[in-house]
Chain A
């Protein structure tokens, strides 16, 4: 199927629960927006960048439009999209400006790809990537298997029928860090020294706890909460992506993860060996993705039971060094039949 998508690159502002606000650069979904309405999206970058959902054999035409940075008017920063993990890409669609080209302010570029392998991928800007990723130009991308059918439990899978990746619900756990000092310097048009990188906030889906579990719509620049919900016994697929610069170690006490795929590749050996494995800590490096499935555990008397999800690097679970915050979220387990079937990931 031919899929036409459009992303705008621009700037914006996001908040953290300690009352801080941070200047960002990021992407915003422009798919279907008429040309004469594009300027209304300037300054409306989102953190994390909008999730992209594709299907195997889709012919994807992804247009990047550089809307400029209204809060840094003098800045004429070009941008690109690097579709991280897509095999056999060619350089003009790979988004590396040193090996092809970048998109200057007011210009467009169409990136084409036809995904053949399902999985959890990521995308980000590759112009001055340390700066542009840190500033927020990064998001998740999933490719569904060709036989994906959300209404049939045998075909609601991450990697296709018969791959042992059936799930009832799915959520993004998109990990990143934010160095408030660097964002502040960029906002003031000053040059940061990246070797002094020292994050002040750790984020899941662009938010720091407790905003991660806040389902109100008061976060226009950060529209994706990270609370996980499931009825007892349901299989929950967590799509982990790390686009920070540090390794992270995510844990949910009371839950055993079965890791079914890493880097959008189902865990199997050359001869088809099933190499999926159980883990209690999801240790994930920058630029990696992992798909892990767990069964919502029984917790009689407690429904809805709340299981904390946190980074076992406990020093990353604070708000700028103060209150509990950062890479923390919740898994809520409900009595059977409480939650209706899930319509879209990461709700």
Chain B
């Protein structure tokens, strides 16, 4: 039996998300000088090993660790009879040590056991993978299995996907020592191995994501047995889909569904699984064809920060017939050019064939902070346009190619200054909406400016007036301050901190009053051989009337009556036994004329 010793330093750090958002977090580092990371270092052991974790607390709060799924009896701490920690904590600046025997193979969490609703959310979690004893012994039946021989868990490629969530508001509150109201918990960043898509595609140890070192892109050869180990470190259920893949569930919570050669085979096939907090699922599958497969969150109401698609909890598997040639070669001859109203166009020569995509990095010349500007998650690209530049600034760009084996060296650096760029909104359109409003939409991001000013001119005036100012990421405005049947001309102006400004094109619209809606849900509530009682719904509050029309058999529709608006029902007493009648209803107002007809309703009298 061996021994595994893992030192963990709990520290504060910052993590990054696509689009430039960054958040404070708490995580574990594997050395005293290392950066904290989310998730914490992956701990590997073999069944029977004695695992010792030394926890050094460099945070300002007590923290502790729990090892769910292990035969480890925690020692809770109470104050006034109430838990304050589920296990012996390390005080700030102190160290504590936990040890246990890794009893069985599987994938497990280790996580904070002190105020876990806050500390696990902040990132104090990681995974522990326990392999069978003979896992790396070529002669053992356990060789390259997840759960020993005879459990049907042999594999060629293994990947651990740790699902998690972050609620930015909780992170901000915890970072400043204030308390977040947990019933409001509604995470806005969903992550796999601490990263959101498309950062998930970047290789391990990508330089600009130093506290999120683990990627989750997968490169495989068709026919390989892939062991996907999904474990949910979040506080919510997550439903994960393997699109185009049907996998066999071979273990849940580290318990194999076929325990040994004599036991029942309770494994089963799934393509989409819901993973509860703390649960783990081991899936095995192969893919036969070459190509890209997305592994993604099926809870589509959480696509990513800002609810943009794609984003969040998604990654990609790429199957190619030949093993990746390794890390791609660096792109060559990067050049930059200014394009008015578009931004900076980058062009390069691609010297690699095995890349999955490219990463664009940018900084303001002379400053230190390098920004991960964009991930082009498709191979073969030779150009990119950065539309987020400000006028009057000198930028430096460099790029690299990546695949699951790693990122290439950087290209040359190109520099450009934007003194002469014209920038601003374009393609402004006005949509005529019914009911005292006008909707404007335009394109062009002004992420570097302070926003847009909306300007309007009514038909009887000569000058544009600013009617509103909106934020830099907005490309939509609804003007509710209009008068119907007036001709309005709009334009949008980009506003930059330095005062430079450009106008969009102009667009014209004439708001109109809403047309009458048709009566809805026409139905017969009561039918006898002498009468038909009709009911419909209508939400109009105007002084309208309803016109009831009827046809008999194949004949034409004939208006049979008109009733007041407040009356959304009608009794047709002029019917006969065994009759077939069709009804429809429309509404009418003096100012707007007739509405559309309701649905046609068929009534057979007894």
Chain A contacts to B: CB under 8 angstroms? 198-200, 209-210, 213, 247, 249, 251, 253-254, 256, 273-275, 277-281, 283, 297-299, 302, 305-308, 310, 312-318, 320-324, 328
What is the distance, in angstroms, from A45's C-beta to the closest C-beta of chain B?
25
What is the distance, in angstroms, from A68's C-beta to the closest C-beta of chain B?
33
Residue on B with the closest CB to A179? B183
**B276 in contact with A253 (CB, 8 Å):** no
Q: What total count of A-B pairs have CB within 8 Å?
A: 115
Contact of B253 among A281, A302, A316, A318 (CB under 8 A): A281
CA distance A283 to B275 in the complex (A): 9
Contact with A along B235-275 (1 / 0, CB 8 A): 11100000000000000111101000000101000000000
**A253 in contact with B67 (CB, 8 Å):** yes
9 residue pairs bridging A and B, Cβ less than 8 Å apart: A198-B183, A279-B253, A297-B71, A302-B73, A308-B74, A313-B235, A314-B235, A315-B183, A324-B82
Residue on A with the closest CB to B184? A321
What is the distance, in angstroms, from B27's C-beta to the closest C-beta of chain A?
17
- Residues in B64-104 with C-beta less than 8 Å from chain A: 66-76, 78, 81-84, 86
**B117 in contact with A254 (CB, 8 Å):** no
**A317 in contact with B117 (CB, 8 Å):** yes
Q: Knowing A318-B117, A322-B179, say if A247 contacts B276 (CB, 8 Å).
A: yes
**A280 in contact with B253 (CB, 8 Å):** yes
**A308 in contact with B68 (CB, 8 Å):** no
CA distance A281 to B68 in the complex (A): 9
CA distance A44 to B574 in the complex (A): 59
Residue on A with the closest CB to B183? A321
**B86 in contact with A321 (CB, 8 Å):** no
CA distance A298 to B101 in the complex (A): 14
Instruction: Point out the residues of chain B lying under 8 angstroms from A310, CB to CB.
Output: 86
What is the distance, in angstroms, from A345's C-beta to the closest C-beta of chain B?
24
- Range of interface residues on chain B? 35 or more
Instruction: Point out the residues of chain A lying under 8 angstroms from B183, CB to CB.
Output: 198-200, 315, 318, 320-321
What is the distance, in angstroms, from A92's C-beta to the closest C-beta of chain B?
28
What is the distance, in angstroms, from B120's C-beta to the closest C-beta of chain A?
6
Residue on B with the closest CB to A180? B183
Contact with A along B296-337 (1 / 0, CB 8 A): 000000000000000000000000000000000000000000
What is the distance, in angstroms, from A80's C-beta to the closest C-beta of chain B?
27
CA distance A251 to B108 in the complex (A): 13
Instruction: Point out the residues of chain A lying under 8 angstroms from B72, CB to CB.
Output: 253-254
Name which of B68, B83, B236, B257 has the most chain A CB atoms within 10 A of its CB.
Answer: B83
Q: Knowing A249-B279, A279-B253, A283-B279, say if A314 contacts B121 (CB, 8 Å).
A: yes
Instruction: Point out the residues of chain B lying under 8 angstroms from A308, CB to CB.
Output: 74, 76, 83, 86
Residue on A with the closest CB to B74? A253
**A321 in contact with B74 (CB, 8 Å):** no
Residue on A with the closest CB to B259? A278
Interface pairs A-B: 6 shortest CB-CB: A321-B181, A312-B278, A314-B117, A283-B276, A312-B277, A278-B255
CA distance A279 to B278 in the complex (A): 11
**B66 in contact with A253 (CB, 8 Å):** yes
What is the distance, in angstroms, from A89's C-beta to the closest C-beta of chain B?
30
Q: Knowing A249-B277, A251-B68, A321-B181, say if A278 contacts B253 (CB, 8 Å).
A: yes
**A281 in contact with B235 (CB, 8 Å):** no
**Other CB < 8 Å A-B pairs besides A308-B86, A312-B276, A321-B179, 7 of them?**
A247-B237, A253-B68, A281-B68, A306-B76, A315-B182, A321-B184, A322-B179
What is the distance, in angstroms, from A107's C-beta to the closest C-beta of chain B?
30
Name which of B81, B113, B183, B252 has the most chain A CB atoms within 10 A of its CB.
Answer: B183
